[in-house]
Structure formats: structure tokens, C-alpha cells
Structure 1
Amino acid sequence: MLYIVLLLVLAALGLLVTALITASSLWAWVSIALSVLAGLVLVADFFRRRGARRRASRATETRVDEEPAAEPEADEPADKAEEAEPEQAEPGDETELVPFTGELDEEQVQAVETGDPAEEPTEPADAEAVSKLGTEVLVVDEYPRYHVAECPWLSGRDTIPIAVKEARDLGFSPCARCTPDAKLLAAAKSKR
């Protein structure tokens, strides 16, 4: 779309120059019309992209909401199966605890794969120690977590390398899936 807009603007500029040289108002009006058309194409492209983003976010929300419930055992009554099943946290519910070791159960792994990964819990002293490191981590535009290169969540995403200190200063937090703080601290301790 941007190429079409560029061509329309260049054509409008050429016609404007022609209108000035020939002193013909017809060419000036055609130049204005091409400029307006270029603006309309830009607006249409903006709304098309915004609609695509909304559809993609709805599709992601739908996939998370439509996870099938576990079927009760054949010999177990349905109401007992419901009682035995723990309540699942809603997406974005920050009361759910994530194991510090970096190992997640199947349900947490699935939640992490469908959207934004959870935040790795880090002690304040450890967070300060990590902030002083110059080690490079990876971030993904429009996501609030930083990761180590081996993080499976990064698969197929465009990453930006950045120093962990700068990532922390910019407000990024560690990913619970790849536990970068724990790994960076362990690597720093092993170097000593």
C-alpha cells in the first residue's frame, strides 16, 4: 500500500510542476485529486491493519476461552469430577503463583504459549543484582517480558537484543518460562 501512496504522491508532484509550468489549473486540480486519493489509501490501509489486529486478538482470546474441559471418568459421577477439578485462574489474574524453579505444569505452559508469558518471581535483592549485569537478553516489541535466547516462547517472533540493565530500566520484567533472572544469576555466580 505504501508503494501505491508513494506513486500517487510522486504523480501529484509531477502534475503540480506541470501545472506551474503550463499555467493550467486543470493539472493543478488533477494533482490535488491524486493527493486526496493518496490520503484515502493511507486511511483505508490504517483501518484494514487495525481490523486485522482486532481479529487476531479476538482469535487469540477465543482460543484461550474455548479450551475443552476435562471429561469426567466413566465410573465417576460428573458432579464429583467438577469438585475434584481445581478452579482455573482467568487470563491476566496475577494471584496465581508460578514455581520459582522455572518449571511449569502443563496448564501454565499452555497459558504461556497462547499469549503473554507470566512474570518470573524474583527476590528484590536478586532483581537488583541482575540489574547491575551487562548481559544481553531478548525482548519482543509490544510484550513486557525479557528472555534468554533459548526461550521456546520466542520461536517465530522478531526479537530485539538489549542489555538486561536497560531492559529493567525500560520496565521489562523476566519471563517465567525461561527464567532469565535465575539463569543470569547462576551464570554470574559460576564466573566468580
Structure 2
Amino acid sequence: MKDKIILKSVDLFLNLGFKSVTMDDIANEMGISKKTIYQNFQNKTKLVEATAMNVFENISHGIDCICALNKNPIEEIYDIKKFVMNHLKDEKSSPQYQLQKYYPKIYSNLKRNQFDKMMTCVTHNLERGVAQGIYRDSIDIDFIARLYFNSMLSLKDPELFPRENFSISMLMNNYLEYHLRGICSTEGIKTLTQLNTNQN
């Protein structure tokens, strides 16, 4: 039952937001009593925490599976973006931003985990790209990886990028193009252009 509650909560929180979804909403959607939820989760904060970590772990596992394929580093970045976008349902409710606002301790813990995961993944991608001559060998890998993480967080800030003007999909596509054109070698630009041609 605990897993079922988390799964339903993930769906509701990502679509409607952590703030607006109540324990009553979750119980009604599942056709169970609120008491059943409280038998598994002490309060809403505990449920939000379990839900946030569940999403993080699922996405981390998916990213690990993509990285294990050892694809061309540029393709790998686009595959990861596609996977994350599908998983987060285009983040209609800006869940990360809501976590930061209403559940700062959970957000802080999640951000630490995301940072560790992304630094490992992005650093490996950059190192492979440089080794294969796709990325310029003059780039500062640690600097670029940290900048990438921070930029990804800022894309999810609805005050900086209001959802009525910027969809997450458009922001991600534009940022990846910007990021890759900044680090690609001449050879890498050819690969990027080819990929973009195939995707359009």
C-alpha cells in the first residue's frame, strides 16, 4: 500500500503541485480512507519527502541506464533530456520550485543529491567528449559541470522563466544548444548539426 500511495502522490504532485494537493485529494483519488495514508506516513511532509526521493531515485536509475550505453556524448545528453522530460510530465506545476518554497529542508536534501548525481554524470560526459575530440580539450571540466547544474536549476524557476512565456521543453532545448555550442570542437559541431537535422 505504501508504494501505491507514493505512486499516486507522484502523479498528483507533479501535475498539480505539492502545495495544492491535500491528503484528502490523494485518499479520494485512490478510493481509500485518509487514515490509511496516515498509517503509512506520519504527515504530509513525510509523504512529500518520500515522493520527492522516489522521483529522484527513478530518474537517477534511468540516467545510469542511458550512460551505461556509452553512446556519443552529445547523443547521451539529448537522450537524458528526453528521458527526464517524459518522467517529469513537462513539470506543469514547477514542483522543484514549490519544494524550495514550502518544504525547504526536503528541497535542500534533494538538491544535494541532485548535485552529486549530476556532477558525476556531467563530468563523465565531458571527459568522454574531450577524449573523443567532440568537445574542446581546453574546457575546464569542473567549472562547466557546476555551471550546467546551476543553469538547469535556474530553468525551473518560474519567476525567472514564467511558464506562460517559456515551456520547460523550449527552455531545455535552447539551453542544451547553448551549452553544446560553447564546448563542442569543430567535429562536435558537425555531430550536433546532424543530430538537430535528424530531430527536426
TM range (shorter): under 0.3
| Larger of the two Rg values belongs to structure | 1
**TM-score under structure 2 length normalisation:** 0.27
Higher relative contact order (CA 8 A, sep 6+): 2
The structure carrying a bigger helix percent of its residues is: 2
